[in-house]
Structure 1
Amino acid sequence: MTTLDPSATYPETYYAGAYWGPRRESPEACAQRAADFLNMLAACDPLFANWNKIPKPRGKGRKTPLMPPDLPTLTEAFRRGVNREPGGPPIEHLGLTVSAYNDGTSQDHASVRMTCASYAQHSSTNVCVLSLPSKGTNAERVLTASVLTNVTRSMALAWEPDWAVAMSHAHRDTEGGEGKADTWLGWVTYLSRHRGTVPPLPAPVRIEPVEDRGTLIILTPERFTVANPEHIALARRVRELLARAGLMRSDRQPTV
């Protein structure tokens, strides 16, 4: 396991991601989930109230606003977001992808990538990843337990993932790095009900239900950072308890 120097001065960057296994869905179904997610996300913070589709190929074509969500526009975006080799036929089993961004400075904006409808049994890539601002007024507002709890809840309700997480990239590295962990435990973690029952966890950890879908686990009320050894010790203790309960296994490796 990687050990990070707590005295490091680089800014800790954060993201939120939801992950789920093979699920064959139509472009219309993906569009409905995306519309639900974008609407719920907009209620979490003003930063998430405006989105523009990233064109394919990137950097070409006109700006396409996605807010307020329009189902025909989103459906066509997912239909065009099918995987394919240049000039080749669509590779439908690898899913449909739509990416979007909002306006802002290089470190004070957000972007989102939504891939659904993949039904490949051994290389499923169904994922929704939200990149979060790292500096500035938006970051100060968004990088809080309350906002990220609502963001993760929105992901759980819209995408019905196996699990979801809001965490820093540095914390992810302490968990073994990208593609190494079965399920990452972050500052905020969502576990689907089908995985099992979350056991009692030590203070200051908070547990919240997400309707009848699953459970949110919030490690700390203040910003979780790898520079705080108490945060890292708490995360490892909670992960150990969840692993004993059989909750930290996944059928697929996460893709960020």
Structure 2
Amino acid sequence: MTVTSAPETYPETYSAGAYWGARKESPEDCARRTAGFLNLLAECDPFLSHWYTPARSRRDARKHPLMPPDVATLAELFRRGMNREPGGPAIEELGFRFSFDNGGATGDCATLRINGGMSSEAVPNHCVLNVPWRGPNADRLLTAAVLTKAVRAMVLSWEPDWALAGSSAYKMQYPEPDSAPFSLGWITYLSRRIGTVPPLPAPVRIEPVEDRGTLIILTPERFTVANPEHVALARRVRELLVQAGLMQ
């Protein structure tokens, strides 16, 4: 008799990310934007107010805090992260990479990954924040209020074309085609460069971000694929955005 095990289940994780097209910038430019972003992020929640330079161990990392942010230090870290051919010269059009975290334990850690200064259209520039998926910090951070502030901080710092915060499980189950200009999240930002957001059904909330673009918040409660009403709402909003010509 063959015994089959139950399918393995994974936690529904969440992240926030901002994405923008080709924009040639120097390590110093990226450092200034990062410094501003870290200061704004610290205002979102105390858990997001401490970050550390990458190191071999957490103990070593804590000896080199990145807060308060220093532009010269950040610029050097971006410079070290310049994309290169293995053993060869730098690939300037692919910009600079920099990843770091806030020193938390597995599952209760926030990480940041930034790739800026790219002038190539092959891969978008991006800033991605992964937030805890378990523990008291997750309970506090995974709210519409905190993640909306985090997305706003990304928009004000990086001036992206679009940004979102949401569930990894939703993105995996309902992927967008490569030709889509953006993906829909629990919280989605669209630059004015993409277009004008149409009226959307309750409980969706629409908020401007200065004169730069628009935030779409699907639901005030935590969005999850386990809730069929949340999924149905997301699919309906996507349909309305398609009808408005925003997802061609």
| TM-score normalized by the length of structure 1 | 0.88
- Aligned match of 1:230: 229
Matched, 1:112 2:74: no
- Rounded to whole Å, the distance in 2 between the matches of 1:92 and 1:208 is 37
One-letter amino acid matched to 1:143: L
| Misfit runs of 4+, over 3 Å | 58-62, 177-182
What are the within-5 Å matches in structure 2 for residues 178-197 of structure 1?
Answer: 182-197=181-196
Aligned equivalent of 1:31? 31
Specify the alignment match of 1:128 in structure 2: 127
2:214 partner SS: strand
Change (3 A) 1:180 1:12: farther
**Cα distance change, pair 227–9 in 1 and its aligned pair in 2 (3 A):** farther
Q: CA deviation at 1:11?
A: 2.3
Q: Which residue of 2 aligns with 1:96?
A: 96
Give the structure 2 partner of residue 67 of structure 1. Answer: 67
1:1-256 aligned at under 5 Å gives the runs 10-55=10-55, 63=61, 64-121=64-121, 123-176=122-175, 182-249=181-248
Highest Rg: 1 or 2?
2
- Structure 2 unaligned residues grouped into runs of 5+: 1-7
Partner Cα distance (1:18, 1:68) in 2: 22
Could you report, residue by residue, the CA deviation over 1:135-183 in whole angstroms, capped at 9, with x for unpaired residues? 0011000000000000011111101111000011101012227968541
Q: Which amino acid aligns with 1:24?
A: K
Identity of aligned residues (%): 62
Q: Which has the higher contact order (CA 8 A, sep 6+)?
A: 1
Do 1:189 and 1:217's aligned partners in 2 also have CA atoms closer than 8 Å?
yes
| CA distance 1:139–1:229, shift in 2 (3 Å) | same
Give the Cα separation in 2 of the matches to 1:237 and 1:31: 39
Are the counterparts in 1 of residues 58 and 103 from structure 2 also a CA contact under 8 Å? no
SS in 1 for 2:119: coil
SS at match of 2:193: helix
Distance 2:177 2:106 in 1: 23
SS of equivalent to 1:129: strand
Aligned length: 239
Query: Which 5+ residue runs of structure 1 have no aligned equivalent?
Result: 1-7, 250-256
Describe the superposition over 1:209-254 as per-residue Cα deviations: whole angstroms up to 9, x where unpaired.
Answer: 00011000000000000011110000000011111112224xxxxx
* Structure 1 residues 111 and 50, CA gap change in structure 2 (3 angstroms): same
Distance 1:60 1:86, change over 3 A: farther
Deviations 1:105-150 (A, max 9, x none): 20111000011000013x1330111111000011000000000000
Deviations along 1:81-101, one digit per CA (max 9) or x if unpaired, are 100123211111101111110
Q: Please give the secondary structure, in 1, of the residue aligned with 2:86.
A: coil
- CA distance in structure 2 between the partners assigned to 1:154 and 1:191 by the alignment: 14
Return the alpha-carbon distance in structure 1 between the equivalents of residues 72 and 177 of structure 2. 35
Change beyond 3 A, Cα 1:180–1:138: farther
